[in-house]
Amino acid sequence: MDRVKEGELVSAADGSVRGTQSFVRTLSECWSRPSLTALEILWRWTYGVPALALVWSVAKRILSKSALDTGALQAMTVTKPLEAAQTLADAMAVLLPAVSREALWLAPLLLLAWVVWSSAGRTLVLHRADKSLHTRLWTMMVLQLLRVLALAAAFLLWLICLHRAAATAVTGPLERGVDPNLVIYFALAIVSTLGVFALWAVISWFLSIAPLLSMLRNLGPGASLAAALRLGTLKSKLVEINLVMGIVKIALLVLAMVFSATPLPFESIATAAFLNVWWVLVAIAYFIASDFFHVARAVAYLKLWRAYEAGPNDLK
C-alpha cells in the first residue's frame, strides 16, 4: 500500500500517530471535499424521508382508530409530573397493542431496507474517498446487519437501566406508600444514558472498521471481523476517535436542544407556524452536521489504516 503523505496525519516526537489531532485534520480535509458529505446526505436522506413518511402514515392510522384521550394529553403540565406520567401511561396502554401489531411488519421492513441501502450508500462514499477500495456489497450488508443488531442491544440495555431507575426512585417508593424521588430518578437516568453511550463508543469501533477492512483487503464478513480484532496498537487510535465521535454527538444534541429552545422566550409574538419551521430547520442542520462527522470518521479510519500498513515504525 502507498505510504501516508506528509501532513495527512499528526505525529508525536517519537513518531507515533496522534489519533485525536489527526481526526481534527481529517475534519478540515472533509470540509474541503463537500462531495463526500453530499453523497452521505443523499443516501441517508433518500432512505430517511420515505421511512419517516411511512412511519407517519402508520402512526396517523393508529391514532385514527384508537380511543385516545387527546384532551388529557394537552392538559398535561410540568408542574404535576406524577399526573403527567399517569396520563402518558394511560395513553401507552391504549396505543401499545396497535403499535405492537404494526411493528411486526414495519420494523423488519425498515431494518432490511436500511441494511441494503446503507451498505450501498456507504460503499459509494468510501469509493469516492478512495477509488482503490474493493466493492464488497454483500459483506457490507452482513456487517451492517450485525451493527444494527448490536445497536438494538445497546438500546435494550438502556431501557433496562431506565426501568431499574424508575423501580428504584418512583414505582418502588409508591408501592411502599412513600413519595417518589424524581431527582434521584433523573440523576440515575442521566448517568445510565451517558454510561451506555460511552460503552457503545468504546466497544463499537470494530463494527465500524470491519466494513472498511472488507473493502481494503477484499475480505468476507467473518474475516473482516477477525481482522478488526487483530489490529494491535491501532485499536487505541480507533477507540480514541470513536470516543471523540461520541462527545461530538452529545454536543450536537445539546446544540440542537439549545437552538430549538431559542425562540421560546418570544413565543408571545412567534406564531406556531414559525416555531414549526424553526424546529424543522434545526433538525435539518443537526442531521447535516451528523452526516458530516460520520464521513469524517470513515475517512479518519482509512487514513489511520494506511499509516498502520505503511510500516511498523509509523504507528506506535
SS3 65: helix
pLDDT at residue 78, as a whole number: 57
pLDDT at residue 13, as a whole number: 40
Report yes or no on 64 lying in a domain. yes
pLDDT at residue 186, as a whole number: 86
Report yes or no on 107 lying in a domain. yes
pLDDT at residue 316, as a whole number: 38
Report yes or no on 65 lying in a domain. yes
Q: What is the pTM of this model?
A: 0.80
Q: Span 120-127, mean pLDDT? A: 92
pLDDT in tens, 143-170: 999 999 999 999 999 999 988 988 888 7
Number of structural domains, the chain? 1
pLDDT at residue 84, as a whole number: 66
pLDDT higher at 45 or 91: 45
pLDDT at residue 314, as a whole number: 37
pLDDT at residue 5, as a whole number: 41
Look up the domain containing 111 and give its range: 44-129
Report yes or no on 108 lying in a domain. yes
pLDDT in tens, 42-63: 999 999 999 999 999 998 888 8
pLDDT in tens, 264-282: 777 667 777 888 889 899 9
Report yes or no on 100 lying in a domain. yes
Contact 2, 306 (CB under 8 A): yes
Find, among 86, 90, 95, the residue nearest to 170 by Cα.
86
Question: Please, which pLDDT band fits residue 82 given cuts at 50, 70 and 90?
Answer: low
CB atoms within 10 A of CB 187: 13
pLDDT at residue 71, as a whole number: 66
Whether the per-residue pLDDT at 120 is higher than 90: the answer is yes
Apex CA 115: angle with CA 133 and CA 223, to 5°?
50
Please tell me the distance from the alpha carbon of residue 31 to that of residue 16, in angstroms, as a whole number: 25
Report yes or no on 254 lying in a domain. no
Report yes or no on 141 lying in a domain. no
The DSSP bridge partners found for residue 11 are 17
Report yes or no on 97 lying in a domain. yes
Contact 212, 129 (CB under 8 A): no
Query: Please, how many CA atoms are within 13 Å of residue 156, restricted to the half-sphere of its CB?
Result: 6
